[in-house]
Amino acid sequence: MEATGQSGRILLVDDEAAILRTFRYCLEDEGYQVTTANSALQTESLLQRQVFDMCFLDLRLGDENGLDVLAQMRIQAPWMRVVIVTAHSAIDSAVDAMQAGAADYLVKPCSPDQLRLAAAKQLEVRQLSARLEALEGEVRKPSDGIDSHSPAMMAILETARQVAATDANILILGESGTGKGELARAIHGWSRRAKKSCVTINCPSLTAELMESELFGHSRGAFTGASESTLGRVNQADGGTLFLDEIGDFPLTLQPKLLRFIQDKEYERVGDPVTRHADVRILAATNRDLAEMVKEGHFREDLLYRLNVITLNLPPLRERADDILTLADRFLARFVKDYARPARGFSEEALKALLDYQWPGNIRELRNVIERASIICPGEWVELAHLGMSAPTTNSAPRVGADLSLEELEKAHIAAVLANSETLDQAARTLGIDASTLYRKRKQLGL
């Protein structure tokens, strides 16, 4: 959720009707949405039902102590920026309030300009922190663009650009590492939602309980450890896009709530009965066969139909021969720059190997191979030996006790188990680790 430009949501808390009226007029003139409350009780109930970006709080609220109201606000809406309004004679309590988490204070009487300036300043901070929250977890090297010269991929990109403009939910299918996440972000970027956030959730990394609170947020005390209320990713993605990565691992027990959200755009935070609304476009991706999962009872058919209004099937890299060398060149250029290395290109033999290889790990594997090569290549030309690709393709399986690092052995073992398993869950069971750990290791090791 973002407070954009003059569209911030402001709460005014004061027990003097005249002050509420003057402040309200002044701030509404600026285009802000203003809501007022004249008591602690009214404030608490408003915060339960509505989301505000900032608040002007009078510390003297009749018999009630504004500091208590502030403490309650910090719990119910920790994201909200609070500006204390105080009389000059009570400046000490403003200092206490700043220590208790208020963002700023204004001394009464204050001019309209001071009020407007204080609002603009806090809303800007709120907007920046909302943006930062959305970017967290998405911190990665910028993509070099996902254009392609391979006919299969070009057709997919054309469809993707067309449907990006609509609000249709899109299901992106493809083997691991084919660029599903990259395509999802590109679709968001081509859509009318581009100025709002594209929020990603990695489904396998969360249990059903954590996923519910991550998606929809929770109220304080909803479960052990929930010491503060949170807004949830759905709220963060309001007006933008929610990308559910590895949707095949979305907990079955939570699927009805996701379905309801997709159908009605309505949801509740964990531990909070208030129904909320968010305008979110859903993109989902998986490398699993969802139709098969439906048959096995692991995925809801009605949810699948909601998600796959449009399906985009990304081809594996081995079927994008026209792109292998372009991508390899781009990755090399990027990594030699990042690591300040001398390589400028590939030897003939290396180029041939890149084209001949089957790339089971797709673009992610290509990226990792080139990253490593760019580091170990001492001269201008990356040779076959620097690519280190022969091990996984030949039968020379690494031997326990051979001259190998633990990581190389682990990578080879996990790759072999994955190749022999029908599902990720089965591979995780064989390896004796849980599916989310395997998911992370795959990414980390470039498998």
- Cβ proximity to ligand ATP: between 82 and 173 the closer is 173
Within 220-279, the residues that bind ligand ATP by CB under 6 A are: 245
Q: Interacting stretch for ligand ATP, rule CB under 6 A, among 11-19, 179-187, 222-230, 305-313?
A: 179-187
Taking CB under 6 A as the criterion, the residue among 8, 66, 177, 240 binding ligand ATP is: 177
At 15, give phi and psi (nearest 5°). Answer: -95, 0
- Neighbouring residues of 429: CB distance < 8 A, sequence distance ≥ 6: none
> Closest residue to ligand ATP, Cβ-based?
179
- Cβ proximity to ligand ATP: between 33 and 287 the closer is 287
Q: Closest distance between ligand ATP and the C-beta of residue 254, in Å?
A: 20
| Cis peptide upstream of residue 109 (ω within 30 degrees of 0) | yes
Taking CB under 6 A as the criterion, the residue among 48, 65, 205, 287 binding ligand ATP is: 287
Within 95-124, the residues that bind ligand ATP by CB under 6 A are: none
Mask for 309-338, x = binds ligand ATP (CB under 6 A): ------------------x-----------
Taking CB under 6 A as the criterion, the residue among 33, 50, 143, 347 binding ligand ATP is: 143
Angle (CA) 430-431-432 rounded to 5° is 90
If one asks whether residue 182 binds ligand ATP (CB under 6 A), the answer comes out as: yes
If one asks whether residue 144 binds ligand ATP (CB under 6 A), the answer comes out as: yes
What is the spatial distance between Cα 305 and Cα 287, in angstroms, rounded to a whole number?
17
CA 437 to chain centre: 19
User: To which H or E segment does residue 58 belong?
Assistant: strand 54-58
- Residue 317 in tokens: 């890299």
Mask for 347-386, x = binds ligand ATP (CB under 6 A): ----------------xx--x-------------------
Residue-wise over 225-250: b if at least 16 C-beta within 10 A, else e?
eeeebbbbbbbbbbbbbbbbbbbbbb
Number of other residues whose CB lies within 10 A of the CB of residue 54? 26
Residues in the chain: 447
- List residues near ligand ATP by CB under 6 A: 143-144, 146, 174, 176-182, 245, 285, 287, 327, 363-364, 367
